[in-house]
Amino acid sequence: MALGPQTRASAFRAQTLDQAQIDEGLRAYMLRVYNYMATGLAISGLVAWVVANVPAVTQIFFVTDQLGRIYGTTPLGMIAMFAPLVMLLVSAFAVRQPSAAFAQGFYWAFVAINGIGLSVLLMIYTGESLLRTFFITAAAFGGLSLYGYTTKRSLSGFGSFLVMGLIGLIIAMVVNIFLASAMMQFVISAAGVLIFAGLIAFYTQTIKEQYVENMGRDAETVTAVFGALSLYIAFLNLFQFLLMFLGNRE
């Protein structure tokens, strides 16, 4: 049966209204993800500053000389260094359907513990170079995430290529622990910048697509938290690889 002009107009208005509601909800959802990520970075930075600048706390995690210079880690410090990786592995393989409360608790614990390891950067690099590199990373993140959000091109194939590159990067980093090659370290750093820059755009598009699949469900909070976690990790890795080029050591 053919639709009359009024019926077609009503259907068009309803479709337009539905799309407007989806767009408004998506913007609020992405803002929520970015807020989680930004708060996580702030918490990690605060923990890192406390560990690096309060001697009583520093000595809990690191072995220092009389001048306060680090030359080793305590057993608790070693645990803190590897805890974030263990937490990621456990969440990926042992937790199948996390609740919203678990996802949020996991995220806040992760970013706080990760700040302990990041404190080493504050002890190695000058404050000026850390701030300069952080703002450069933030600007790059903004542009890359905006591209991932606005592009109509699917980045799924590109994302698979980046994940393969990430695996190769990790293997190369392990190998270079034994080789200690300066040239290989340079190549690793350059590759790390490119890989995590691409992952930021890919993760942003993935988070956007997950909203459409889960909007209005309890899973929406879980995907927002873990989406923020993926962006948080990509941001910090991009920051650390850029530091290898732009950072000035103490």
Predicted confidence at residue 159, as pLDDT, reads 86
| pLDDT, tens digit, 9 for 90 and up, residues 50-66 | 999 998 999 999 987 77
Predicted confidence at residue 67, as pLDDT, reads 66
With 60 as the cut, is the pLDDT of residue 8 above it? no
Q: Distance (Å, rounded) from C-alpha 175 to C-alpha 30?
A: 38
pTM: 0.88
The residue ranking higher by pLDDT, 100 or 12, is 100
Would residue 1 count as lying in a domain? no
* Structural tokens at position 250: 């103490």
At which residue do the structure tokens 């450069």 appear?
A: 136
| pLDDT, tens digit, 9 for 90 and up, residues 10-66 | 444 445 546 666 778 888 899 999 999 999 999 999 999 999 999 899 999 998 777
* Structural tokens at position 184: 């290989």
* Average confidence (pLDDT) over 172-201: 92
Number of domains in the chain: 1
pLDDT band of 247, cuts 50, 70, 90: confident
With 90 as the cut, is the pLDDT of residue 165 above it? yes
Predicted confidence at residue 19, as pLDDT, reads 65
Q: Which of 28-37, 89-98, 220-229 has the lowest mean pLDDT?
A: 89-98
Would residue 193 count as lying in a domain? yes
Would residue 114 count as lying in a domain? yes
* Share of residues in the chain with pLDDT > 90 (%): 62
Predicted confidence at residue 32, as pLDDT, reads 94
Q: Which domain holds residue 226?
A: 25-246
Helices 127-150 + 182-214 axis angle, to 10 = 40
Would residue 7 count as lying in a domain? no
At which residue do the structure tokens 């340079």 appear?
A: 186
Mean pLDDT of the chain: 87
Would residue 232 count as lying in a domain? yes
Would residue 13 count as lying in a domain? no
With a CB cutoff of 8 Å and minimum separation 6, the contacts of 169 are 188, 191, 192, 195
Predicted confidence at residue 50, as pLDDT, reads 96
Q: Distance (Å, rounded) from C-alpha 80 to C-alpha 168?
A: 25
Predicted confidence at residue 216, as pLDDT, reads 55
Would residue 50 count as lying in a domain? yes
* Average confidence (pLDDT) over 132-161: 93
Predicted confidence at residue 12, as pLDDT, reads 41
Q: Distance (Å, rounded) from C-alpha 184 to C-alpha 42?
A: 32
Predicted confidence at residue 26, as pLDDT, reads 87
Could you tell me where the DSSP H helices lie in 54-155? 55-61, 75-93, 100-124, 127-150
Count the Cβ atoms, other than its own, within 10 Å of residue 95.
Answer: 12
Would residue 17 count as lying in a domain? no
